[in-house]
Amino acid sequence: MIATLVALLASLLYLGLLFGIANYGDRSAARDHTLIGSPLIYTLSLAVYCSAWTFFGSVGLAAEAGVAFLPIYLGPTVVAVLFPILHGKILTIAKAYGITSIADFIAARYGKSSLLGGLVTLVALLGTIPYISLQLKAVANSLDTIFAASLAGQGGGPVPEPALIVALVLAVFSILFGTRHIDATEHHEGMVLAVAFESLVKLAAFLAVGLFVTYGMFDGIGDILGRLEAAGRGALLTMAATGLTYVDWVTYTLLAGLAFLALPRQFQVTVIENVDKDHLRTATWMFPLYLLAINLFVLPVAMAGVVLGRGGDTLMLELPLAAGSHTFALIAYIGGLSAATAMVIVATIAISTMISNDLVMPALLRIERLRLGQRHDLSKLVLAIRRAAIFLLLLAGYAFFRLVAERIELVSIGLISFAAIAQLAPLILLGLFWREAGLVGALLGLVSGFAVWFYTLILPALVFAGWLDPAILEEGLFGIALLRPQALFGLEGLTPVTHAVLWSLGVNTLLMVVGSLATRPSDLGRLQAILFVDVEQRQSSTRLWRGETRVAALQDLLVRFLGRERAVRIFAREALRRGQSLRAGDRADAELVQLAERQLARAIGATSARLMVASIVRGEVIGPDALLQILDETSQAIEYSQKLKQKSRELETLTDELRRANERLRQLDQLKDDFIATVSHELRTPLTSIRSFSEILLDNPGLPAEQQRQFVEIIARESQRLTRLIDDVLDLSKIESGRMEWEVDDHDLRRIIEDAVGTSQGLMRERGISVIAKFGVRRAPVRCDGDRITQVMLNLLSNAAKFVPAEGGRIHVELRGLGNEFLVRVEDNGPGVPPAMREAMFEKFRQIGGSMKDKPHGTGLGLAICREIVQHFDGRIWCEEAKLGGAAICFTLPVRETAPRTADRVRSV
């Protein structure tokens, strides 16, 4: 038989190992080498949730009530799925505002209320004491079981008060590794590493014992199931065996989820000890996986116990002992010890921080006689309070174990704790997502919920422990049946825990909502609500102090709580960041005041920090109205700035347009100069000829008649040329100024083209140019000015004739339908038009030659006139490459839509 001494020795060795790991973690952290930067370590540290309740209690419960243990793990699984949403927001807030605990978080949310912080601490404290007693009881029971086995083997001896010894050892551990630094937001790396290690140990131990029982003592799960059936206990695996209704089941799941959210030790590892927000994503699936894994063998072990006629919370130990395996019994014991110690260590550290920061320090700072505000170094006082709190907390846990818990099952104790802690959940959830949630509502909800919890769960527990008269349960307080603690206002048929949870959480939430809606929070409360609910949006806009103090006063304040070295370091770092020194006599700005408060909050909590800063800063907090006004002004400034940017962009666009227009004007001016030069030149050439030949004729009346006739013909030809040029200029001028009179009538475009080709046939034949006309339509009805379109055709034909080669010149004219338009195409086999010039050639005075010197014969107005005429009749004109190799000038005119109409004589507008 395994000796008690061996178990104790193993305990001490195990705790020694924990010390070693924690010490190694702290030393690494001191060398700036973190060992908790892995999401795996983070997730394992979250498994502090699985305490001795899981290790021993679940199996004991499963042996009696089958799957009734499961809701305690399903609730946290649902919450874990919400980690990135829920805890992601909590983490952002905690990091932004230096939150040190769940009490600090809630107090900060509701206007940094020291009263609420203290109440939350009290609730957490009273809710945690039974939980600690549960761990002590589990370890004590384990030792008792081993001791009983030892007696049977005549080895070892009795252990005096094993629970007390365990409590004292754990107190030493927690004090050593949980209260090394005053900064509560500094990570307890050694502690986290040790807790992660413990999570591995308890999981490995559970799986090892489970495998041993299932496959070592039996031939697998099938064998156990078969024997269970044979023993007539097959119904153990049904819902009926749980003794729970669906309402109970759902309530337990909800309770576990809410408790998981609000448990101080979970808040400690999930939020305060988190070093990387991204770890939450891994924990979202890995933590539920851990829960699943550690519960895999709960039912097989429990069923094996039932088959062997055993039960209770120590099945995990009893079964290996019954099989004579000391090794697996020791593994089970170490696993249970591991689960219990991890919970106790983290819980005591979390609660002790809350007690010092939210309960004791605010109270002490308010006692003026103590003059704590004037003491030079308060850091030692804060640490002393935390250490004393840890010690007293463990003693209280031991006392509860001795007075009450010894007579209650582990699971019942755990559920009592859960129900107390769950009272914090409405404050957290509503505080996170409902801006209207206020301090009065929070106080009303918490106090009432906790009172109902005490009345419906603790009172009956005291009755069962023999401390109170059982008549209270049967007849109700003062004999009023409606006040029976386990059937409040006649609500019966539920388990005591479901009954208590429904009443306490219901009253809590209701009064919280009513209290919040019925009262108006303080300015600070409203401000904090905005900062918490909209943390993602407003994280950076937190310069909220409007007060006055000096740099020296702030530094002195930090020295008192953080020590001179650290305070000086903080101010030096800030000066470095700002790039300017912070002189003692300078007025501290809002940013510096906030920095000091944040640093102080890391040591003594937000509530106390606010009290201390308020004691030296003369001023006020900017209320939500003022804040919103500032935000409005900022928004207006931003809007104005954006408008200015928009205007600036518009101005830039306008400038560009003006620049382009100016360039265009410059070009037009150049064209005008060119035009005047061209026109002058064109006018002067015929005029010079006319004048010269006229003078010759006048001065030489005796010239031969033949020569005189030749000179007169030249004069007549030059006059015609002059007239043509002037006609072109006048035509274009009329069209552009809108004074052109158009003779609009229904015409056949084919006929116009045939006439134009016929008219120019003589000229073409004279120059040896072949003209071919192709018509794709028999009739081409259009509505236009027939003379003007004829002018366009003649212009295009004469234009083509100018460019064809002297010999072998060819011109093709084509007319065809193109949808609701007619397309006319005049192409030649001349040199063609470069693509870059195809658009510009339709502008006035543009000629393909590019300069005035080598320009071809003509005024440079023909194509411009053609474009104006075609566009007037809703057509288009353009130039493209010809199949003959030269240029093809194309234009379209719309098909006449309606029946022929009478002629219009209109003036363009």
Which pair of structure tokens corresponds to residue 180? 């090394």
Closest to another protein by CB, 77 vs 357, is 77
By C-beta, is 241 or 668 nearer to another protein?
241
* CA-wise closest residue to 166 among 45, 387, 11: 11
In one-letter notation, the amino acid at residue 688 is T
Q: Are 36 and 193 spatial neighbours (Cβ–Cβ below 8 Å)?
A: yes
Indicate which single residue of 292, 482, 665, 677 sits in contact with another protein (rule: CB under 8 A).
292
The stretch near another protein (CB under 8 A) out of 241-249, 451-459, 551-559, 676-684 is 241-249
Nearest partner of 420 among 461, 454, 459, 448, judged by Cα: 454
Task: Tell me, residue by residue from 221 to 240, as one string, x for binding to another protein by CB under 8 A and - for no binding.
Answer: ----x--------xx-xxx-
Which amino acid would we find at residue 724? R
Largest Cα–Cα distance of the chain, in whole Å? 170
Binding-site size, another protein (CB under 8 A): 35
Please give the angle made by the CA atoms of 429, 432 and 436, to the nearest 5 degrees.
100
* Inter-helix orientation angle 523-533/86-97, to 10°: 130
Min dist CB 253 to another protein, Å, is 6
Rounded to a whole number of angstroms, the minimum distance from the CB of residue 531 to another protein is: 21
Give whichever of 71 and 624 is closer to another protein, judged by the CB atom.
71
Q: Which of 97, 131, 206, 249 touches another protein by CB under 8 A?
A: 249
Nearest distance from residue 254's CB to another protein, in Å? 9
Which residue, among 60, 78, 82, has the nearest Cα to 69 in the 3D structure? 60
Cα–Cα separations (whole angstroms), residue 869 to 742, 860, 895 = 10, 16, 16
Does residue 250 bind another protein (CB under 8 A)?
yes
- Pairing mode, if any, of strands 770-775 and 810-818? parallel
> Buried (b) or exposed (e) across 809-830, using 16+ Cβ within 10 A?
bbbbbbbeeeeebbbbbbbbbb
Per CB under 8 A, which region of 249-257, 498-506, 845-853, 878-886 contacts another protein? 249-257
Binding mask 52-81 for another protein (x = CB under 8 A): --------------xx--xx--x--xxxxx
| Span near another protein by CB under 8 A; candidates 275-283, 369-377, 619-627, 647-655 | 275-283
> How far apart (Å, rounded) are the C-alpha atoms in residues 202 and 197?
9
Stretch binding another protein (CB under 8 A), from 129-137, 202-210, 247-255, 422-430: 247-255
Number of H helices, E strands in the chain: 36, 10
The answer to whether 226 and 367 are in contact (CB under 8 A) is no
Find the shortest distance in angstroms from Cβ 239 to another protein.
Answer: 5
Using the minimum distance from each CB to another protein, give the nearer residue, 67 or 116: 67
CB of 43 to another protein, least distance (A): 12
Phi and psi, residue 865, nearest 5°: -65, -45
Of the pair 38, 542, the CB lying nearest another protein is at: 38
Interaction of residue 180 with another protein, rule CB under 8 A: no
Site string for another protein, 455-494 (x = CB under 8 A): ----------------------------------------
Sign of CA dihedral 224, 229, 232, 236: positive
Q: What is the smallest separation between the CB atom of 187 and another protein, expressed in angstroms?
A: 21
Smaller CB separation from another protein, 278 or 377: 278
Comparison of 257 and 624: residue with beta carbon closer to another protein: 257
Give the nearer residue to another protein in terms of CB position, either 77 or 121.
77
Listed residue (73, 119, 87) closest to 428, CA to CA: 87
The 628-667 site mask, x for binding another protein (CB under 8 A), equals ----------------------------------------
Q: Which is nearer to another protein, 218 or 873 (CB)?
A: 218
156: left (phi over 0), alpha (psi -120 to 50) or beta: left
Pick between residue 235 and residue 716 the one whose CB is nearest to another protein. 235
Contact between 281 and another protein by CB under 8 A: the answer reads yes
Instruction: Please give the residues from 197 up to 226 whose contact with another protein meets the rule CB under 8 A.
Output: 225
Residue closer to another protein by CB (options 78, 837) is 78
Question: What does the alpha-carbon distance between residue 13 and residue 293 come to, in Å, rounded to a whole number?
Answer: 27
Indicate which single residue of 117, 162, 288, 858 sits in contact with another protein (rule: CB under 8 A): 288
- Near another protein in 78-107, by CB under 8 A: 78-82, 84-85, 88
The residues that bridge with 821 in the sheet, in sequence order, are 818, 894
Rounded CA gap, 194 and 269, in Å?
12
| Shortest Å, Cβ 544 to another protein | 29
Query: Tokens 């550290």 map to which residue?
Result: 349
Q: Are 128 and 266 in contact (CB under 8 A)?
A: no
Is residue 4 within the footprint of another protein (CB under 8 A)?
no
CB of 493 to another protein, least distance (A): 16
Number of neighbouring beta carbons within 10 Å of residue 545: 22
Q: Which parts of 736-765 interact with another protein (CB under 8 A)?
A: none
Question: Pick from 505, 529, 44: which is nearest to 259 by CA?
Answer: 505
CA separation for the pair 891, 877 (Å, rounded): 4
> 754: which 2 tokens?
């045939």
Using CB under 8 A as the binding rule, whether residue 253 contacts another protein is answered as yes
Under rule CB under 8 A, residue 614 binds another protein:
no
Contact between residue 68 and residue 228 where contact means Cβ atoms under 8 Å apart: no
Closest CB to another protein among 282 and 685?
282
Bridging pattern class, strands 877-881 and 810-818: unpaired
| Rounded Cα–Cα distance for residues 718 and 559 (Å) | 109
CA angle 430, 434, 436 (to 5 degrees): 110
Q: Are 38 and 193 in contact (CB under 8 A)?
A: no
Please state the closest distance from residue 212 (CB atom) to another protein, in A.
21
Element (H, E) at 362: helix 361-366
Q: Minimum CB separation from another protein for residue 495, in Å?
A: 15
Strands 887-894 and 821-828 turn out to be: antiparallel
- Residue 841 binds to another protein (criterion: CB under 8 A): no
Comparison of 66 and 127: residue with beta carbon closer to another protein = 66
Is the CB of 229 or the CB of 586 nearer to another protein?
A: 229
Q: Where are the alpha helices (DSSP H) in 404-495?
A: 410-421, 425-433, 439-453, 459-464, 471-475
How long a stretch of residues is the chain? Answer: 909
Contact region for another protein (CB under 8 A) — 260-268, 276-284, 826-834, 874-882?
276-284
| Of 17, 289, 481, 572, the one binding another protein by CB under 8 A | 289
Beta bridge partners of 881: 887
At its nearest, how many Å lie between another protein and the CB of residue 247?
Answer: 8
Asked whether position 246 contacts another protein by CB under 8 A, the answer is yes
Report the nearest approach of another protein to the CB of residue 671 (Å). Answer: 60
In the complex with another protein, the residue whose CB is nearer, 223 or 755, is 223
Element (H, E) at 345: helix 326-354
To another protein, the closest distance from the beta carbon of 257 in angstroms equals 9
**Residue 28 interacting with another protein (CB under 8 A):** no
Least distance between another protein and beta carbon 655 (Å): 41
Residues 294-323 that bind another protein (CB under 8 A): 296, 299
Binding site for another protein (CB under 8 A): 66-67, 70-71, 74, 77-82, 84-85, 88, 225, 234-235, 237-239, 246-247, 249-250, 253, 278, 281-282, 284-285, 288-289, 292, 296, 299
